[in-house]
Structures are given as structure tokens and as C-alpha cells.
Amino acid sequence: MTCRFAGRDIVMPLSHDLPVILSASPHYSQNLARLTALSAAARPDLTMVDIGANIGDTAVLMRAAAAAAPILCVEGDELFLDLLRRNVRGLRDVEIEEAYVATADDADRAHTVVRQAGTAALVPPTSGLKPARPFRSLPAILSSHERFASPGLVKIDTDGADPRIIVANRELLARARPVVFFEFAPAWAARTGDENPYRAITALADAGYQGALVYANTGELLLVTKVTEPHVWKDLGRYTLAHGNGSYYDIAAFHADDADLFEQAGAAERTFFDGVAAASS
């Protein structure tokens, strides 16, 4: 089936939840579009990496928001790869890496893929399921796509592996200092075998990240805060665990060197949602 998204018709499986989500949540993913546009304005040489590119909907969104910034889509699932290729066909400056991002050691290579409602998660091996392949480290992937060696925006959406990817790449993040947009979902992380997703926040702080915008999974701004406020993340995690496996937040993290961009983004997002609130009152 097809769905109109970011001004383009995209192809997806009948099981994909995107049309239902868009119908119920008009702000879904629009936060990333606004942040992409702000990042492109601040960095004329912006390049973007989409980890967990799925069917290419995020790439379509990013291209609409930043017409000139090259995009690298990283996706390992063979079902989504076919749709990803179809959906980015005709978009300029989009490259595809056919791999999962390796996060720790060879144990990750034994993970299997579980698909549900248009998403895929890597979980510990289950009898009878084919092991997921291939895995590559993010530095190795970027070395194969030279113009993305120092991306300005990295989006991660892997249904649970986001914290491990951040921890494994703290040195790369400290060097390149991209805006990092990722999912904070302790319950999903636990399903993949990660019992401490909060270490992603520590890794970001160690890499020099300071500012953070926190969104509901439907796209509404919840909080403008600091990466180095541990009680915030524990409180958010406690809430997600109390509200079931479908509960998560989106976080946009900004390096200390991007303090001005963080302030600009925070102010712009507050103004946008003040306008939404005023229009609905």
C-alpha cells in the first residue's frame, strides 16, 4: 500500500502502522523535520545519518526539510531494504548501507530479527529463527561513505538498540558532535538484552553533550533539559516502564559546542507548541 508522507507517496507493508499513527498524532515526526531544517540552516555542510532507516520515511522527511544535505540510510532488514530503495528512488544525495550497526562484540551477531507493525527489533537468539546479518561498526560504515565521516545529524531508531549504539560510538560522537535524535525506551532496550539503557545518557555526557529536548512519542515537546540531570532520565524511564512496552520518548541531544543551536531549537519548539496550545484553547 502507499501513504502520503512529507509530500511524497511512499510504499509500505499492509502491517505498517505509519498511516494509523499519522491519523491519530498529527505532530508525529514533525519535530525531527523542524530540527533537521534548523540544523541545515546552522551547518551549510550538513550531512545526515539515518540508523534504522526502515522503509525510508525518515529519509523522505529529512529531504523535504533540508533539500541539499546528503543522507546515509543504514538498514539491515531485507524486507525493509527493498521498500527503502523504492521510496528513496528519485531523491538526490541519498546513499544506502545494507547492514545493522554492531554495538558491542560478536554476541550481537547472534541476534535475530522480530518484526511487528512495520518495525523490526534485534533480540537475543530464538530457536528456529535465522540469525540477523550483516553487522558492521558505525565507524566502518562511515569509512565506506566518506562524505559522512563527520555527520551533523544522526537519527537512531532501532526499537531498543539505540542506547548500545550510542555507548559504542561515544568517541565518534565526541569528535563529530552531531545532533543525536534517538528513542529512549527502557522496556524495548531490556527486550534486546540491555538492562541499563541509562548508560546512553552517561555516554552522551562523557562525549560533551549538554542540552536535550524530550518529546512524547507522538511528537509533542515535553521538556527542555540538560543531559547531565540524572534524575530526569530516571523519572522518564520510570514512567515508560509503568505504561507498558509501547511507551517511549524521543530525545534530541546537543553537544556543548552547539549551545547556540540548542537554545535556538528549544526556543523555537516552545514557541511552536505555545501556538498549538493557543489554537486549541
Residue 146 pLDDT greater than 50, yes or no: yes
DSSP alpha helix (H) spans, the chain: 18-24, 30-42, 57-65, 78-88, 138-143, 162-168, 170-176, 186-191, 199-206, 230-242, 259-280
What's this model's pTM, rounded to 2 decimal places?
A: 0.89
Distance of CA 228 to the CA centre of its chain: 20
pLDDT at site 145: 97
- Say if residue 127 is exposed, middle or buried (CB neighbours under 10 Å; 0-12, 13-18, 19+): exposed
Note whether 122 and 133 are within 8 A (CB). no
- Which residue do the cell numbers 528513496 mark? 88
Quote the CA–CA distance of 218 and 237 in Å, as a whole number: 17
Report the residue count for the chain.
281
pLDDT tens, 165-224?
999 999 999 999 999 999 988 877 777 777 788 899 999 999 999 999 999 989 999 999
pLDDT tens, 245-274?
557 899 999 999 999 999 999 999 999 999
pLDDT at site 106: 43
Residue 5 pLDDT greater than 50, yes or no: yes
Note whether 165 and 51 are within 8 A (CB). yes
- What are the cell numbers at 270? 516552545
Return the C-alpha torsion angle 40, 140, 228, 189, nearest 10: 110
Listed residue (163, 237, 178) closest to 209, CA to CA: 178
The mean-pLDDT minimum among 19-28, 32-41, 51-60, 136-145 falls in: 19-28
pLDDT at site 134: 79
pLDDT tens, 94-145?
999 999 998 865 444 456 665 554 565 555 555 455 555 678 999 999 999 9
Provide Rg for the chain, Cα atoms: 18
Note whether 40 and 65 are within 8 A (CB). yes
Omega cis (within 30) before 134 = yes
Query: Model confidence at 243, in pLDDT bands (50, 70, 90)?
Result: low
Quote the CA–CA distance of 247 and 281 in Å, as a whole number: 27
Note whether 118 and 18 are within 8 A (CB). yes
